[in-house]
Amino acid sequence: MAHVPEALIDLIVEHGRMTVAGDHDGLIADFLPDRVGQLLTSATVPADLVRAQLVSTEAGPDGEVVAVTKYTDVRGESVELRACWVPFGGSWRVTRVRNIPETRPWMNEYGPSPDGVDQEHWAGLANGELRLQRCGDCTEWIWAPRPMCPHCRSLNTTWETVDPAGRIYSWTRTWQNFSPETAGHLPYVVVLVELAQAGNSRVLGVLEDTDGREVRIGMSVQGKIDTPPPGTTGSPLVRWHVAEGEWQ
């Protein structure tokens, strides 16, 4: 295993001390210049920190070093952050940071649209079902929901419960904090899942348990309906999980 330089360990410990002290300028100086905005919103720590403890360091490929630091507040509550350090300008800089273990983001504004065209979909999720729209005349599946069938122009649309199982059609790993609710949950993976039972309709959602794993197009996934966590609002959502045996 590659050696972690003592100078870097000292730098990581000092970085933890600056985090506890709220030394904003010092923290920014430790970030890669082109990652400052992203890194400032990538992780969350409790207020009123009193202690930082370096838990572990591990040298990885291409000279990268991964450090885990535990932060504790005045109430004794703690979180762990994992930061990736890389050589830069004769020293070291942080290129990625996240809370561990991986936790899912939750967007409070999700829910039925004002016109009610997708109301049945959200009602299904609240009832533990994935419901998709289908034309009552030509029987084609319709997604996203709309008042008229785009295939035959019929207004006779219905809703059917489908098995939330499919394959990944496309995916992206998001590192940017596009909403306040995603702070502390970066990065996360968004997938477009193709549902064979619903005419290969493609449904968007977050893929769980992806930290440190390589996602591939075509992987089999299973959806589970997730209810809003405590302290949040909104409607239930489908979260996707890679099928057993698919990870390499």
Interval 171-197: pLDDT, tens? 998 877 777 777 777 788 999 999 999
User: For residue 91, what are the contacts with CB-CB under 8 A and spacing of at least 6?
Assistant: 11
**Per-residue pLDDT, 200:** 96
Instruction: With respect to residue 194, please indicate whether it lies within any of the assigned structural domains.
Output: yes
Whether the pLDDT of residue 205 is over 80: the answer is yes
Residue closest to 8 by CA, chosen among 58, 79, 51, 50: 58
Q: 17-26: b or e for each residue (b if 16 or more CB lie within 10 Å)?
A: ebbbeeeeee
Whether the pLDDT of residue 112 is over 70: the answer is yes
Instruction: With respect to residue 114, please indicate whether it lies within any of the assigned structural domains.
Output: no
Residues 234 and 193 in one domain: yes
Residues 12 and 89 in one domain: yes
CATH code for the domain of 74 = 3.10.450.50
Instruction: With respect to residue 172, please indicate whether it lies within any of the assigned structural domains.
Output: yes
**Per-residue pLDDT, 108:** 67
Residues 150 and 59 in one domain: no
Residues 57 and 125 in one domain: no
**Per-residue pLDDT, 139:** 97
Instruction: With respect to residue 141, please indicate whether it lies within any of the assigned structural domains.
Output: yes
Backbone torsions φ then ψ of 40, nearest 5 degrees: -65, -25
Residues 238 and 123 in one domain: yes
Residues 129 and 87 in one domain: no
> Going edge to edge, which strands form the sheet with 141-142?
141-142, 130-135, 157-162
Q: Which domain covers residue 80, as residue numbers?
A: 6-100
17-21, 143-147, 180-184, 188-192: the lowest-pLDDT one: 180-184
Query: Given 72, 100, 128, which residue is the final one in a domain?
Result: 100
Residues 93 and 157 in one domain: no
Residues 143 and 224 in one domain: yes
Task: Provide mean pLDDT across the span 160-173.
Answer: 96
Instruction: Tell me if 42 sits within 8 A of 97, measured CB to CB.
Output: yes
- Taking the whole predicted model, whether its pTM rises above 0.85 is answered as no
Q: Mean pLDDT for the chain?
A: 90
Instruction: With respect to residue 185, please indicate whether it lies within any of the assigned structural domains.
Output: yes
What is the number of residues in the chain? 248
Instruction: With respect to residue 125, please indicate whether it lies within any of the assigned structural domains.
Output: yes
In whole angstroms, give the CA distance from residue 197 to residue 129: 14
Residue closest to 181 by CA, chosen among 106, 81, 98: 106
Task: Provide mean pLDDT across the span 160-176.
Answer: 93
19-28, 117-126, 173-182, 217-226: the lowest-pLDDT one: 173-182
Residue 120's region, left for phi above 0, alpha for psi from -120 to 50, else beta, is alpha
Strongest mean pLDDT among 73-82, 95-104, 108-117: 73-82
Backbone torsions φ then ψ of 177, nearest 5 degrees: -90, 85
Q: Are strands 237-242 and 201-207 parallel, antiparallel or unpaired?
A: parallel
Whether the pLDDT of residue 23 is over 90: the answer is yes
Number of structural domains the chain divides into = 2
Instruction: With respect to residue 23, please indicate whether it lies within any of the assigned structural domains.
Output: yes
In whole angstroms, give the CA distance from residue 230 to residue 209: 20
Residues 90 and 175 in one domain: no
Confidence of residue 43 (pLDDT cuts 50, 70, 90): confident
Only one residue has tokens 């977050």, namely 206
Residues 67 and 125 in one domain: no
Instruction: With respect to residue 1, please indicate whether it lies within any of the assigned structural domains.
Output: no
Residues 66 and 128 in one domain: no
Residues 179 and 212 in one domain: yes
Confidence of residue 130 (pLDDT cuts 50, 70, 90): very high
Query: Given 40, 73, 100, which residue is the final one in a domain?
Result: 100
In whole angstroms, give the CA distance from residue 191 to residue 121: 19
Backbone torsions φ then ψ of 13, nearest 5 degrees: -60, -40
CATH code for the domain of 133 = 2.40.50.840
8-state DSSP, 164: -
Instruction: Tell me if 133 sits within 8 A of 158, measured CB to CB.
Output: yes
